[in-house]
Amino acid sequence: MTVLQELVGLYDRRAGQENWPQPGFSTENVGIEVVLEADGQGAAIRSLMAPDAKGKLQPRRMVVPAIERTSGIAAGLFWDKTAYSLGVTATEDDDGVRLAGQGKRTEKEHQAFRQTHIDLLADAQDPALQALRAFCETWTPERFSELCDDIELLDQGVVFRLGSGEFLHDLPAAEELLKQSGNGGAMCLVTGKTAPVARTHIKIKGVAGAQSSGAALVSFNSSAYESHHKSQGDNAPVSESAAFAYGTALNALLDKGSGNNLRIGDATVVFWASGSDEAAAENLLLEALTGPSADETDPTRDEGVLRDRLSAVAQGKQPSSEALDPSTRLFVLGLAPNAGRLSVRFWYPGTLDDFACHIVRFWEDCVIEPSPFLRNGARVPPRPWALLYDLAARRDAANIPSNLGGDLMRAILTGGRFPATLLAGVMGRIRVEGEPDRGQHGNVDGRRAAMIRAVLTRNHSQEVPMALDEDATDVAYLLGRLFGAYVYAERSFQERNAGLRQKYIAAASATPARVFPVLMRGYEHNLDGLRKAGGQKAGSGVRADRAVSTILAALPGANPLPPNLALDEQGRFFVGFYHQTAYFYTKAADAPDSLIDAEDTE
């Protein structure tokens, strides 16, 4: 089914329990009721005003048929302000005394109200609706002063009732007419029923980067988008009730605090469920993408429990104590701003177990050691939105590459290929930054290495080591390890403001044949200094030299270093660099003094 069909279905299921507005209705201020007699004569005009906490009279808030009116004349159905419904408005005489009269266009407004209801109720069978039609045929504005002497009621909203019965707009017969009213009808592309077509659709609010007043998901506001001389909504006929339903449901999902939306890059993601225990399924998906809510009073709200729950769903081994149904349908919609409209970045309907399998696979693709996804010593799942910050200049969300957030989410939720721009973006930031600020942003190298491994494993079907592989023979991986050993030796000897990593990681990963001879000479100088320094520095020199010797022995000695490395090879280079440097700093504190022998310190 389409996006709009599923949103309309969501509205049908939840409108009552969530108190969402009904199609064609809105909550308005109403201050007057007109009591009708059976023959259409006005029996009384009564105030519905009531005092507020300060004693000031206020109109009653009532759910009435919505009125789409801007600057033109458009009459409401079964209610409206006094100018339309009764033909009178507040005016002033020469002395400034307020009285009932008519403005410049009051007569036209009242005529529009009268004619609309005379035509609409021509075949009405309900006695109350017949009374309203007769009222419109016989009412004269002069009668207002006869039935009401409260000038303060002028320009208030007016509703009607027959005797002591219900308000007319609440009658089933009136509601049926409201569904059928409109400018013509056509088959609705959403419901398949013939009904009045919505000329314009409800504005959608809450999409990051879109206009604060709302943007249109479906719109035709230029001749370039129109065909066969049809304008606006006639180009893709959606009934007024369906347009109202999908717009109301989508706005509710996008509302702050709904728990049904999140932002990934420039994409705003909304999701909902259909089936048994919809709320539990939605919460699990939200937690899988953002982490569990911080509720210290609930011992189950931790990352380990979340991982176990989702993995159990993915493997079909869910505990019987869980209320989750793997067959529950889930729908994920990615939206992005596009001037006054919204762009659909992705739309993915599936089942809970589908999503669980794909999300767990994403977690597994990102596994790397040492893990950058740790909190208080415990492993946590990678969060897509957090990974994207590692690709942005100054870690500013505005600098995340366009479309990347939506493309990444599509890959995670569908199990498809990662966007090609993900690997290019990671390597681009590595080349530009040289070395990130680990103290401020955590293990950025680890997160980037995890993304690289995920892309190479899924997109290129490459075997990329999860942890340091000392038996690996891949040249790019070995060169990354070698560069890591050179960097470690330099840092152990002397910290520099602009070290090897800042100056050479971009060139070393792209053109190793040109750069590594230079790096080797610098390494020999650093190694000599470490040996002469003695003590712990000499131990660091031993560790670096043994790693360099092992790596050089693994490189194909008969072949020269490659003049350049492709993008995927640069990715393996960085993974090797991360593994080797992490190994040094992990093992350095545990290295025994016996590693430093006589010949190493000469």
**String of DSSP letters for 1-43:** --HHHHHHHHHHHHHHHHTPPPTTEEEEEE-EEEEEPTTS-EE
Q: How far apart are CA 407 and CA 425, in angstroms?
A: 13
447 and 568 share one domain: no
User: Residue 542: is its pLDDT beyond 70?
Assistant: yes
Flag whether 282 is in a domain.
yes
User: Residue 185: is its pLDDT beyond 50?
Assistant: yes
What is the pairing mode between strands 32-36 and 157-162? parallel
440 and 531 share one domain: no
35 and 90 share one domain: yes
| Residue 594: pLDDT band with limits 50, 70, 90 | very low
Q: How far apart are CA 449 and CA 574, in angstroms?
A: 7
User: Residue 595: is its pLDDT beyond 80?
Assistant: no
Compute the average pLDDT of residues 321-338.
87
502 and 438 share one domain: no
Flag whether 26 is in a domain.
no
473-511 b/e (C-beta count within 10 Å ≥ 16 → b): ebbbbbbbbbbbbbbbbbbbbeeeeebbbeebbbebbbe
Q: According to the 3-state scheme, what is the secondary structure of 285-341?
A: HHHHHHCCCCCCCCCCCCHHHHHHHHHHHHHCCCCCCCCCCCCCEEEEEEEEEECCE
pLDDT for res 294: 53
User: Residue 482: is its pLDDT beyond 60?
Assistant: yes
Compute the average pLDDT of residues 32-55.
93
Complete DSSP assignment for 477-494: HHHHHHHHHHHHHHHHH-
Q: Please give the sequence-ordered ranges of beta strands (E in DSSP) within 183-227, or none if there are none.
A: 186-187, 194-195
pLDDT for res 296: 45
pLDDT for res 305: 76
Flag whether 241 is in a domain.
no
Q: 452-462 pLDDT, tens per residue? A: 999 999 999 99
165 and 35 share one domain: yes
Flag whether 17 is in a domain.
no
Q: How far apart are CA 396 and CA 400, in angstroms?
A: 7
| Residue 181: pLDDT band with limits 50, 70, 90 | low
432 and 563 share one domain: no
Q: 406-429 pLDDT, tens per residue? A: 899 999 999 999 999 999 999 999
| Residue 489: pLDDT band with limits 50, 70, 90 | very high
Q: How far apart are CA 293 and CA 282, in angstroms?
A: 13
By C-alpha distance, which of 395, 486, 405 is closest to 433?
A: 395
416 and 491 share one domain: no
Compute the average pLDDT of residues 516-521.
94
522 within 8 A of 498, measured Cβ to Cβ: no
Burial of 425 (0-12, 13-18, 19+ CB in 10 A): buried
334 within 8 A of 345, measured Cβ to Cβ: yes
Structure tokens at 565: 């490395």
pLDDT for res 203: 87
pLDDT for res 435: 85
Flag whether 584 is in a domain.
yes
The per-residue pLDDT of the chain, averaged, comes to 87
- pTM confidence score: 0.73
| Residue 233: pLDDT band with limits 50, 70, 90 | low
138 and 265 share one domain: no
419 and 494 share one domain: no
168 within 8 A of 40, measured Cβ to Cβ: no
Flag whether 395 is in a domain.
yes
193 within 8 A of 187, measured Cβ to Cβ: yes
Give the least confident one: 287-301, 364-378, 529-543.
287-301
Structural domains of the chain, count: 3
Q: How far apart are CA 242 and CA 23, in angstroms?
A: 8
User: Residue 600: is its pLDDT beyond 50?
Assistant: no
Q: Torsion angle of alpha carbons 507, 508, 514, 519, nearest 10°?
A: 120
> Looking at per-residue confidence, does 364 or 320 come out higher?
364
151 and 105 share one domain: yes
What is the pairing mode between strands 60-65 and 98-101? unpaired
Segments forming the whole domain that contains residue 271: 259-459
Compute the average pLDDT of residues 334-339.
90
426 and 520 share one domain: no
Which residue type, as a one-letter code, is found at position 221?
N
Which residue type, as a one-letter code, is found at position 116?
T
Give the least confident one: 253-262, 301-310, 404-413, 429-438.
301-310
By C-alpha distance, which of 24, 37, 31 is closest to 77?
A: 24
Compute the average pLDDT of residues 571-589.
87
User: Residue 71: is its pLDDT beyond 70?
Assistant: no
pLDDT for res 587: 55
Give the least confident one: 199-203, 242-246, 587-591.
587-591
| Residue 1: pLDDT band with limits 50, 70, 90 | low
Q: Among 157, 180, 203, give the residue marking a domain's end.
A: 180
What is the pairing mode between strands 98-101 and 89-92? antiparallel
User: By three-state DSSP, how is residue 261 classified?
Assistant: strand
Give the least confident one: 71-75, 389-393, 467-471, 491-495.
71-75
Q: 288-302 pLDDT, tens per residue? A: 988 775 554 444 445
Q: How far apart are CA 189 and CA 192, in angstroms?
A: 6
Give the least confident one: 31-35, 183-187, 241-245, 581-585.
183-187
Q: 490-510 pLDDT, tens per residue? A: 999 988 878 899 999 999 999
434 and 493 share one domain: no
H helices of 333-419, in order, are: 352-365, 384-389, 404-414
The rounded Cα 431 to chain-centroid distance in angstroms is 30
Q: Among 180, 209, 232, give the residue marking a domain's end.
A: 180
Flag whether 22 is in a domain.
no
Other C-beta atoms lying within 10 Å of the C-beta of residue 394: 7
Flag whether 209 is in a domain.
no
Q: Please give the sequence-ordered ranges of beta strands (E in DSSP) within 193-244, or none if there are none.
A: 194-195
